[in-house]
Amino acid sequence: MNKGRPKPRQILLSKRANIFYLEHARVLQKDERIVWLTETGEDVEQYFNLPERNTALLLLGKGTSITDAAMRRLAESNVLVGFCGSGGSPLFAATEPVFLTPQSEYRPTEYMQAWVRHWMDETQRLELAKALIAERIALTGKAWARNSELLQRKIEIPAVAIDKFRQRSAGVPDTQSLLLAEAEWARALYASLSAGHGLNFTRQEGAGAKGSKEERVNSFLDHGNYIAYGLAAVALNGLGISYAFPLLHGKTRRGALVFDIADLIKDAYVMPLAFTCGANPRVKDNAFRALLIETLQDGDSLDFLFDFVKRLCEKTL
């Protein structure tokens, strides 16, 4: 009896190499493949292959459509699909990710159960938040120390900021105090990057305009953060953990845990590259995204997020 051609094996989510952002394109299934094509006006349409079994995240920007057959195949391959605005920033709000998670009856449950057990205990939840902050400080320090552009400009995280953030986050009695310490940490990072690039920078989420260097940095931060949100969502969805059980961000915000986990890689990779590219008028949106995806892949960011969230669940930090 002919059982049909066996399906190729999928690559583990944490090891997948591809993140795609498309705009003004159609995504569809053709000849047992996922392909996309852009509206060029030519008589002959040119298709581009999308290797879904080695793809973690697909972002669909302005003027983009996708067929139900393509969505079904992407879901089978466990690819997270997100609709966003121009350049990769969210369409309706600068920090509200909207993702279509692949539906499957077979999803790990042990991590979600462990997460909920910790989350329901206020003391344990605060300890997890502190562990998240400690890892964020460590990863940011390592990534900045290896960043050749920052080293060339002699940009570094002030030791006093690291010590102050580490001490304050370790001794705070509640989440609100931890958020205040986090805000001070972010200001210190922005100040170091701004001074090193000769900018007068103020963070403005969702500003959109890209006239000055400062505005370009803000725009790249928005675009880069959304990619970081996508990777965090891939890790959480792959482990079967609901986005609705955050550690730091608002307890009533949809997707708040995505923001928490994304913070691990935003400071380390997104923020420095946004300043480097924003200070260079020749770097366009697509070049920034390509550089960021390459940087995140070089840092094994997705693998790191999977591993760290699993360790949080197992409390082996």
Question: CA–CA separation, 263 vs 297, rounded Å?
Answer: 17
Interior angle at CA 109, CA 108 and CA 111, nearest 5: 90
263 known member of a binding site: yes
182 known member of a binding site: yes
Contacts of 277 (CB under 8 A, 6+ apart): 216, 220, 283, 287, 288, 291
- Cα distances (angstroms) measured from residue 234 to each of 31, 61, 133, 137: 27, 18, 20, 22
Contacts of 144 (CB under 8 A, 6+ apart): 150, 155, 156, 157, 268, 272
249 known member of a binding site: yes
Contacts of 150 (CB under 8 A, 6+ apart): 144, 156, 196, 272
Cross-strand pairs, 100: 81
Residue 176 CA, chain-centre distance (Å), reads 24
Sequence ranges of the binding site: 182, 249, 263
Sequence ranges of the binding site for Mn(2+): 182, 249, 263
